[in-house]
Amino acid sequence: MKKIQAIFLVFIIVILAAGCSKGKDQKTSIPDKIIIQAPVAPPTSPLVKMVEDKMLGDNVEFILYQNVEEATTRVARGEADFTVLPVNVASKLYNKEADVSLLNVNTWGILYLLSRNGEVKSWEDLRGKELFVGAQGASPDVITRYLLSQNGIGEEEITISYGTSPEMLQWTIAGKADIVVLPEPLVTQCLLKAENMEISMDYSQEWEKINGKGSRLPQTGIVVRTSFAKEYPDIVEDFQNAYKTALETVVSDPKAVSGLIEEKLEIPAAVFENSMTRTKLEFATAEDAKTDVEAYLKALNELSAEMIGGKLPDEGFYYKK
């Protein structure tokens, strides 16, 4: 009997040791390389600080993408672990069964409508006019179309001309565009370089007017490759904590990082510092942002389901640790 008890005890010890060893290996498991991609935009500034300070270690590849198409292609191929994307584009990818989950939301308003000599004072002033909008299918476009519809302006009553946001800026500076939708920090550059341009509307305020006081505009977030998150949950948690810390530093003291931003993103330090006065950056996990995200995607879905990939994403869209 004693021999049987001893064998059983040894068996239990072996099993427990194996379990502990496995848990330890999982916890310390790290990928050969962590690939992060982002645009030259406000939510990228915390990433620049993270990479510079090696907050995720030395094995990070940081890619600045030129347009959403480039980013989504890389995501579809599984060539990026973390990607900054418009929330509606993230929904599109998820609904097309891409290997992504929404990790966080970080941008709650950087879009503004500007007009020359303050020509536009209300949505009614846009009837019969040409409006220049960057990034067709992404945030500037879909939010503009939503706000137009909610303010009674049919798309047949206005001409929308598309290009990239940097192109919109250059056309405005050259006097070829008088009414334009731009994100920060291009808004600041427009006010500095384009003659007689003024801010006519703050999109986050316009969103709140329609959806009620306290409603927020979850414009941009970060998606994670879902299979990566399952394999390296500790890395994902480290990323979330590092990004939150870096974002809070950028928001509280833009001057402290403006030199780095100028070097890495080629945004003049003074422009970056000025733009942060109109840039609404705040970290929220996907779970914490879910109510705002669902309201946003539902609003876009009612206007055009194509904007979010045909339907509201299910629970699997929101990353949970």
Please check the confidence at residue 10 and state whether its pLDDT lies above 50: no
**What secondary structure does DSSP assign to 62-94, as a single string?**
EEE-SSHHHHHHHHHTT--SEEEEEHHHHHHHH
Distance (Å, whole) CA 300 – CA 294? 10
Residue 262, CA distances (Å) to 18, 38, 254, 256 in order: 50, 16, 12, 12
Q: What is the mean pLDDT of residues 36-61?
A: 96
Distance (Å, whole) CA 201 – CA 213? 17
Q: How far apart are the first and last CA of the chain?
A: 46
pLDDT in tens, 129-180: 999 998 888 899 999 999 999 999 998 999 999 999 999 999 999 999 999 9
Please check the confidence at residue 11 and state whether its pLDDT lies above 70: no
The answer to whether residues 221 and 88 touch, using CB atoms and an 8 Å cutoff, is: no
The whole-number pLDDT of residue 28 equals 54
Strand, helix or coil for residue 176: coil
Token pair of 216 as six digits? 């927020």
Which has the higher per-residue pLDDT, 30 or 99? Answer: 99
pLDDT in tens, 198-241: 999 999 999 999 999 999 999 999 999 999 999 999 999 999 99
